[in-house]
Amino acid sequence: MTRKILHADCDCFYAAVEMRDDPSLRDIPIAIGRSREHRGVIATCNYPARAFGIHSAMPTAQALRLCPHLTLLPGDFDKYREVSRQIQAVFYELTPLVEPLSLDEAYLDVTDVEGFQGSATWMAQWIKQECLTRTGITVSVGAAPSKFLAKVASDWEKPDGLTVIPPNRVEAFVASLPVGKLHGVGPATRARLEALDVATCADLRRLPRERLLEEFGKFGQRLFELARGIDERPVKVERERKSISVETTFDRDLPDLPSAQEALAPLCDKLALRVARHGEPAIAGLFVKVRFDDFSLTTLESRGQAIDRDSYHRLLEQAWARASRPVRLLGVGVRLQPEAARQQLTLAF
């Protein structure tokens, strides 16, 4: 049976909640981020702000240069989580097969849903209307036979979009799709594909599998499949957490290693509290993340099963030595053992 997958994605979610609660914000550029006096990145922004070239993960200082009259809001994540709960409740009324990706997006497998005469299009329309009625938030939805195509479709006509790719349109749709739309293809991979005269999936199909494996390793197989619309990934009802971490962006760069080491202690304390909230997770290793003042980023990891400050200090020392520059951002975290590995250990014991 051909699968019916929906990808629902709220439009500029955090900003949308703020505009809902304060209509005066609707027509001016706004962004969720730290104040002008602090450094950080944009969590999200509304569409008037995007017209200036602002986007999520952009440094706040750069956003303010692009739009000096940008209204910055600190964000109320307790409120966002509550709205997200209301939206996800709509999803679960339709099907139990929901895979949340974040507060504002999820996959739904509606293959076996008998309501709406089995029409994925009608289900998508119902989701959009119910979310708007109950929360005041617009949701863009894509419907397709696979997760990959459903996600592409949800972004096709944003905001407030609804795009359906039925099975008989998959071949033509994928053939004309720019390779930059493929999951996992970032600027570097896109540039390498362009060097091979590949701009669309139709171009990509002309490259033999062996050539793709030679150029891109294991990812070459994924490119081979996506170029043909092949994506058999199921909707996972339970997503396995891979790591727990905390980080902070400093208002002023930490000038040297001793100042960075001093800033490490409160981060380790915060991490310990966050790990404790997850019960007793099986820890596979520790890591430190450092972003320097030139925006270069490095991460260093080690094996370990406890949040040990001395271990983090050693990791930070090695990470800092890679650039020996002032530090803009510092993060610490733990990698968690996969469930399969924990089961194997139990059987071995």
Cite the annotated binding site for Mg(2+) by residue number: 9, 104
26 dihedral zone (left: phi>0; alpha: psi -120 to 50; beta): alpha
Round to whole Å and give the CA distance between 79 and 87: 13
Among the listed residues 99, 105, 171, 214, the single catalytic one is 105
Amino acid sitting at position 13? F
- Please answer whether residues 186 and 142 qualify as being in contact, where contact means their C-beta atoms are separated by less than 8 angstroms: no
Task: Find, among 278, 256, 275, 279, the residue nearest to 267 by Cα.
Answer: 275
Q: Which two tokens stand for residue 300?
A: 């260093």
Is 105 noted as a catalytic residue in this protein?
yes
Round to whole Å and give the CA distance between 2 and 96: 19
- Please answer whether residues 6 and 108 qualify as being in contact, where contact means their C-beta atoms are separated by less than 8 angstroms: yes
In what side-by-side order are the strands of the sheet with 327-336? 243-254, 327-336, 283-292, 297-303
3-state secondary structure of 29: coil
* Residues making up the binding site: 9, 104
Q: Which residues have CB under 8 Å from 237's CB, separation 6+?
A: 96, 97, 98, 99
Active site residues: 105
